[in-house]
Amino acid sequence: MTSRLHSFVDVAADSHFPIQNLPYGIFRPRGAEVPRVGVAIGGWILDLSVLEREGLLHLPACGGETIFDRLSLNAFMCLGRETWLSVRRQLTHLLSRDEPTLRDDAALRREALLPMAECELLLPVEIGDYTDFYSSKEHASNVGAMFRGPENALPPNWLWLPIAYHGRASSVVVSGTDLRRPRGQTKPDDAIQPSFAPSRAVDFELEVGCFIGPGNSLGKPVAVDRALDHAFGLVLVNDWSARDIQTWEYVPLGPFLAKSFGTSISPWVVTFEALEPFRTAGPLQDPPPLDYLQTLGHQAYDIELEIRLQSDVMEAAERVAATNFKHLYWSISQQIAHHTSNGCNLRTGDLLASGTISGPSPDSRGSMLELTWGGRQPLTLPNGEERRFLEDADRVTMTGWCQGDGYRVGFGTVTGRLLPAAE
């Protein structure tokens, strides 16, 4: 894909969804009962179920079975890279400026191209399992220095393997879903015993998530150089966290209720084919990984990431941090290879999140925990309000994009508002 490729659909230069992108999602048109699969193009959604019905999309691997009239992307994701590439080529052709099939058929165009503003965007994938990694060296170093001192910032195993924990798939929600402040056990250092109350330290975590396409069989690890054959695409992730609950509960088994109250993802899944022009070198890994984690070539992606925060009295959201996905120490390929190295079987629709992505500068930290250094250095908003952690009615919006020559390949946004704790 190059910047010379254009669609007959008008797309603004700063749109996240030019013809070079074509991300997949699940949507429901206003007034319709049944969701279906669509592709974003500018401010429009291309209804793939209509194209499939009209015989304009050919998927030989399906044996005549329809794929794009489903409630999730799973049926398409499990078909593998050859099918994904074929459909991408067909969609690019149909949307190209010089192709008349869709461009010149007014009736078909009215049915197949729908204004995004008039559609409801839904959770794109039926998620079976959710794994949250801890793969940003800067984030792990910041958190470790905060609680253990800079000399013991990284755990002894951190530079040798991608650390992760098993999250809760049932509470993964699509962008725009508001979440309630969780209740839980907390214990300040000076308290004799814990208490049960609403968290006073709710945080956001800027992450990127990878959806698994075809899985692997139980007992058969995925080689690191074949890992991306199992990876369908990426979404933005806000892994909401209750830091005070986490501090009390995480020893010895790690995060539990502090994380499982909600994880937000963006509605459009950006494929690795769209991201291929933006491959870049990741951080130098020292010491070199063990053989099963060693990779060749560029394994990172140059994705600009931003976090914006808006209180209930602010007229607009304010950027509080900006970082880049290329800072991630452990790559997606290494995460998949390590996850399956013991024979664990990944399945279609599994979500693997990167963990908080922080950069080298103070304004590139991907969580409030880091931005305020554990609440000790409050963040001042433009209207003078201070934040140590999130307050009720605060809205967090994250966005990300790759900048091409005259076009962007973006993710849209993932947004959510923190509501008061349930009575």
> What residues are labeled active site?
139
What is the distance of C-alpha 400 from the center of its chain? 9
Helix, strand or coil, per DSSP, at residue 124? coil
In 3D space, the residue among 37, 73, 72, 74 whose CA is nearest the CA of residue 52 turns out to be: 37
As a whole number of angstroms, the distance between CA 75 and CA 383 comes to 48
Distances 212 to 133, 245, 352 between C-alpha atoms, Å: 15, 30, 8
As a whole number of angstroms, the distance between CA 214 and CA 158 comes to 28
In 3D space, the residue among 21, 38, 239, 11 whose CA is nearest the CA of residue 122 turns out to be: 38
Q: How many other C-beta atoms are found inside a 10 Å radius of the C-beta of residue 184? A: 21
Backbone angles phi, psi at 96, to 5 degrees: -65, 150
Backbone angles phi, psi at 293, to 5 degrees: -110, 5
What is the 3-state composition of the chain as percent helix, strand, coil, each rounded to the nearest 5?
Answer: 25, 30, 50
DSSP string, 218-271: TT-PPPGGGGGGGEEEEEEEEE-EEHHHHHHH-TTT--STTTTT-EEE-S-BEE
Q: What is the dihedral of CA 374, 377, 378, 379, to 10 degrees?
A: -100
As a whole number of angstroms, the distance between CA 316 and CA 335 comes to 37
For the chain, the distance separating the N- and C-terminal CA atoms, rounded to the nearest angstrom, is: 52
Distances 395 to 18, 65, 165, 305, 376 between C-alpha atoms, Å: 27, 42, 27, 17, 22
As a whole number of angstroms, the distance between CA 323 and CA 300 comes to 14
As a whole number of angstroms, the distance between CA 51 and CA 101 comes to 11
3-state secondary structure 24-53: EEEEEECCCCCCEEEEEECCEEEEHHHHHH
